[in-house]
Structure formats: C-alpha cells, structure tokens
Amino acid sequence: MTLTLDIEKPKEKSPVVAQTVFLGLGLALLILAPLFFYPVFLMKLLCFALFACAFNLLLGYTGLLSFGHAAFFGGAAYFTAHAVKEWGLPPELGILVGVAGAAFLGLIVGYLAIRRQGIYFAMITLALAQMFYFFCLQAEFTKGEDGIQSVPRGHLFGFIDLSQSTNMYYFVLGVFVIGVAIIWRIIHSPFGMILKSIRENETRAVSLGYSVRNYKLAAFVMSAALTGLAGGVKALVFQFATLTDVGWQMSGEVILMTLLGGIGTLIGPLFGAGLVVTLQNYLATSEFPVTIITGLVFMVCVLVFRRGIVGEFYHSRLGRKLGFEHRQ
Amino acid sequence: MQALLGQLLIGLINGSFYALLSLGLAIIFGLLRVINFAHGAQYMLGAFFAWLLLSHFGLGYWPALVVAPIAVGLVGAVIERTMLRRLYTLDPLYGLLFTFGLALTIEGTFRYLYGASGQPYATPAALAGGTNLGFMFLPIYRGWVIVFSLVVCIGTWLVIEKTKLGSYLRAATENPVLVQSFGINVPFLLTLTYALGAALAALAGVLAAPIYQVSPLMGSNIIIVVFAVVVVGGMGSIMGAIVTGYLLGVAEGLTKVFYPEASNIVIFVIMAIVLLIRPAGLFGRDA
C-alpha cells in the first residue's frame, strides 16, 4: 500500500541555510509565544503537535494508518497521572512510566495488527483501541467516568516548580523539541530509510531481505512510545486524565491534524494540530458541535487537499526555491 | 436456564444487526474497495428517518421499512456519484478517511438538531406483545427481527450468487476493466452497490428503532464492533460475513451470562485470537 505523499527529499545539496533560518524562526516564535498567548492553550497545542508528529512517523514514513493511537495517548495519560498521584513519583519519572506503558501497549497492538495489511490494519487498531477504552471504563485505577482528577504537577528534577505555568510551558516546549528531534533522527537514519522503502514498495523491501514485520513493529512501538510522551505530558498540563483521551474520536482527531498539516512532512502535524486546537478552542464556547466542522474538513482534505498545508507549501514554487523539494 | 435463553435471544438480535451491517460493508468493500466508515451513520439515519416519518408525517413502521432504506440509499448514491467516486484511483485508506469524515458530519448534524439523548420509537401494533414458548417468553417483535433479518441476509446472498445482476457484480469485483469492456456499465454498478449497502444499513436501523432508542450516537457505537466482526469473518465471502455476524452476536450474549464484565470486549478478544491463529479471518481469502 502506498499513499501518495510528498516528503522532503533526502537532501544532498539542498540549501540548508533557508531551512535553518526557518527552524530558528520557529523556535524563537515558540520561545516567545507565552508573551502573546495563554500558556495552557500553547501547552495543549504542543502536546497535540507532538502526538500528531509521532502518529505521522507511522502514517507518513511507514505507510501504516493506525486508527487506534488514542489508546497510547490516553493510556499514557492515565499511567502518568496514576504514577504521579498515587505513587508520588516526580514528573519526569511519571512521564517515563507513561512512555513505557504506551510502548508496551504499542507492542501488543502492533504485534496483532501487523498481521494484516492496509485497510484491515486500520480496522484492527481501531477495534483494539476500543477494547482498551472499555478496559479503562471498567478498570479500578482509571476512576471510571470521573477520570483521575487533580494530578499534582510536582517539581521537575526536584527543584523546578511546575505549578508555575511559565516553568511548565518551557518544560513542555523542551519535551516537544526533544520528541521532534528523536523523530527527525529516526526518519533520517538507515532505519528510517528502510521504513520509507516499506511504505513505497513492501514486496520489494521483503525481496531485498528486510524482515518487514520487525521493522513495522519497531516503528509502531516507537510511534506509540512518542505518543505516550505527548499523552503523559498532557496529563500533567491539565492535571487530569479522562476517557476522552482514549476514545476513538481522539484517534480521528490526530489523523485529521496530520492530514491537514501534511502527511509525511516533519512539521506539518504541528500546523495541523495548531489549526484543530484553535478551532476547538474557538468553538468550545458556542453551541455548534465541533464534529460537524471536523467531519467537513476531513472530507474536503481527502477530496482536494491531500498534500496538506505544509505539503502544499513544499510543492509551491516558493517552497521548491527554498529547497523543500518534494516527490510526487 | 431462563437467563441463558434470554441472553441467547439478545445475542441473536445483536447478531442480526451485526450480520446485516457486515453484509453491507462486505458488499461495498468487494466492489468499491472502500471501507464504509459511514455505515454506522447510515444505520442511524435509517432509524432517524423512521422516527421522523412517524413524528412529522404520521407514517408508521411498515411504510418506514420501505421508505427509509430507499431514502438513505438515494443519499448514498448521490454521495458516491459526487464525491466517493473521485477516490477510487487512490489508496483505499483515503476512502476510509473520507467516509469517516462523512460519518462525523452526519452524526454531528443530527446531534445538533435533535440532541444526544435517545428518542423512543414504539413497537408496531401488529408485532406488540409476546408469546410464551413454554421454555421462555419471546417478545414477538424480537422474533420478527431475527426472522426478517435472516430473510434479508439470505435474499441478498441469493441475489448476488444466483442472479444476472449478481453475476455482473461478482465479475466486476474480480476484474472491473474486463467487465466494462463487455459493455456493462461498471460506474453505474458501483453507484448501485454503494446505494444498496447504505440501504441495508438503513434497513437495520429501522429494525433497531423499536429495540434501542433512536439516537444520533447509535451508529458509532456499533460500527467499531462491526469492524471487528468483519476482521474475524474476512471480507472475501458474503456468506462468511453473515455467519460471523450471528456467531459473534451469540458469543456476546453467552458472555453476558457467564462473565458479564467481559461482554463489551469479547468480540475484540475473539478478533485478537483469530488474528493470532488465522490472520486472514475465518472465511478470508486474502492471506
């Protein structure tokens, strides 16, 4: 199964300058952002952006559409919240618990789901995530419909007080940058190249002697772990973990963010997440249900806007001039 | 014993809906290579049309059983003609994403218009009441749902396996280009198939209206289970989809008797086991 995607070409002689400038500008904007925007909104945005980037590692670079990533996101939120609140772990260890839990869930779901391909893969991940949802609904430690409430943010490394929203914001930003750097490292490694070859032509990858199954499973677990990183941090930002984060709607949302931003682009999901989170915030106060807009955006994106925002930019003349070459 | 038979009955009823819905999914997937995520929404539309017909036009259950599937089928045909058609040349995943968006839009709209809570729909007078079978009490309507859905399933299977139209459909599933070169209007077949699948979902919705409440969310609750049913059955065979639907419904009912906590997830557990033992599904061909 190959998705028609646009990605940055492996750059041999691309104008690194322009890209470095963009990167620097983006970072500067994120560092200065709390001066202009409400920090909780920004933190939410960064958590979802990291979630979408991690999801994109699977969809954009390995060609696997998981419809169950909410299980890892919401699952990690529960694990982190439980570890911090009930076990009294510091935030950094709590997040590690979330990441480990999500990776473990990813191992189970991935192991089952990669036995089928394409459309079946999507349905299996969706069904297994729904199973996890019912588990969370009935399990003791998740506190059912209430969720885990009033989770303390604690002190990072014992001395940085995260209940201060500025401290928390820069912590979240740091996690986000590290997460994206890991993803960048993965997709530009020989391992990442093999993932792309699986996306492009699975049969050929097999015939070249790669054990495609193991690579797919590894990519799935990595994506789940990074998703867990986003989910764990989100639990600390909002100080609760609820069923909303494990529901299938959440899995749909992250697909939309990735699709809207640009499947297979490193920073596309950041833009997609930004748009979706802004839209949700904007509509949160009105009676109008977000799902109608979400659904319509989905339909329009699939019909006429499959490259996504960043993909379209890379495809445009300006984008090509700046060295963001793409491949049809 | 009473409880066992009662749950078995409920299992058979749920199984009827699983069978009808996975049948529609399998037919659509067979020809269009699209997993119709909007199937749940179309099921909900069927139930809602029945309810609207009754509350706004005074049309009862029997007319609704005919009108609602036709209406939903027509809506499906329009969607296929105007939008879904553009996606056939792309990866099948885009079809899934498009119909997912469609489902969100339809459900969101009905939630906005009618609220999230359910609307009751009265059992038609002719099928009200129950009968004592000696070993258990059978509400007549529930018996009717089981018999009628079985008739519809077998009827659809007969149409596809034994009629000329069905042979065109099967041939187009195997090789659409070749079938078109024989002068058969394949694009029309595609529209017809999608409309038929949507109509089947709507029919299930009308059948469900008196049993479950008519609510905008009824579709999304059932569609994920139906996906699991489809993974277990494999979409290669129409009969496989039907049989798996009933079997899993009964399995779910039995779990409610012996281990009620797991009744929500038993179908997913069965799916996981089938994936481990026979990844292609019980009746699947695509290993």
Taking CA atoms, B108 is separated from A222, A296, B116, B197, in Å, by: 34, 10, 10, 22
Q: Rounded mean pLDDT of chain A?
A: 86
Question: For A72-113, what is each residue's pLDDT tens digit?
Answer: 999 999 999 999 888 888 888 999 999 999 999 999 999 999
Chain-chain contact of B93 with A119 (C-beta, under 8 angstroms) = yes
- What local confidence, expressed as pLDDT, does residue B48 receive? 93
Q: What percentage of chain A carries pLDDT values higher than 70?
A: 93
Q: Is the per-residue pLDDT at A125 higher than 50?
A: yes
Yes or no, beta carbons of A123 and B231 under 8 Å apart: yes
- Residue A296 above 80 pLDDT? yes
Q: What is the mean pLDDT of residues A279-288?
A: 82
CB-based contact B253:B142 (threshold 8 Å) = no
A286 pLDDT above the threshold of 50: yes
pLDDT tens digits, residue range B137-176? 788 888 899 999 999 999 999 998 899 988 998 888 888 8
Chain A residue numbers touching B90 (CB-CB < 8 A): 4, 306
Q: Is residue A66's pLDDT more than 60?
A: yes
- A13 has pLDDT over 70: no
**pLDDT level of residue A282 (50, 70, 90 thresholds):** confident
Contact A127 B228 (CB under 8 A): yes
Spell out the SS3 assignment of chain B: CHHHHHHHHHHHHHHHHHHHHHHHHHHHHHHHCCCCCCHHHHHHHHHHHHHHHHHHHCCCHHHHHHHHHHHHHHHHHHHHHHCHHHHCCCCHHHHHHHHHHHHHHHHHHHHHHHCCCCECCCCCHHHCCEEECCCCEEEHHHHHHHHHHHHHHHHHHHHHHHCHHHHHHHHHHHCHHHHHHCCCCHHHHHHHHHHHHHHHHHHHHHHHCCCCCECCCHHHHHHHHHHHHHHHHCCCCHHHHHHHHHHHHHHHHHHHHHCHHHCCCHHHHHHHHHHHHCCCCCCCCCC
Measured between alpha carbons, how far is residue A82 from residues A48, A50, A158, A298 in Å? 21, 22, 19, 34
Query: Residue A327 has what pLDDT?
Result: 45
A120 part of contact set with chain B, CB < 8 Å = yes
Going by C-beta distance under 8 Å and a sequence separation of 6 or more, which residues neighbour residue A122? Answer: A65, A66, A67, B35, B93, B96
Number of Cα atoms under 13 Å in the Cβ half of residue B230: 33
Contact A292 B112 (CB under 8 A): yes
How close is the nearest chain A Cα to the Cα of B16, in Å?
A: 20
Q: Which residues lie below 8 Å from residue A31, measured CB to CB, with a gap of 6+? A: A173
Residues of A in contact with B106 (CB under 8 A): 295
Whether A295 and B265 lie within 8 Å, measured CB to CB: no
Can you give the pLDDT at residue B247?
92
Of all residues in chain B, the one with the smallest CA distance to A137 is B264
Of A2, A119, A138, the CB nearest to B96: A119
Lowest mean pLDDT among A91-105, A140-154, A247-261: A140-154
**What predicted TM-score, i.e. pTM, was given to this entire model?**
0.89
Residues 6+ apart with CB under 8 A from A174: none
Residues A164-218: tens digit of each pLDDT: 888 889 999 999 999 999 999 999 999 999 999 998 888 898 998 889 999 999 9
Return the CATH class of domain A13-327.
mainly alpha
Average pLDDT over residues A313-327: 69
Q: Is B212 exposed, middle or buried (0-12, 13-18, 19+ CB in 10 A)?
A: middle
Report ipTM (2 d.p.).
Answer: 0.87
User: For residue B75, what pLDDT is reported?
Assistant: 95
Domain boundaries, chain A: 13-327
Q: Which residues of B touch A109 (CB under 8 A)?
A: none
Q: Flag residues of chain B having pLDDT under 50.
A: 287
**Candidates A108, A119, A201, partner chain B, best to mutate (most B CBs within 10 A):** A119
In B, minimum Cα distance to A119 occurs at: B93
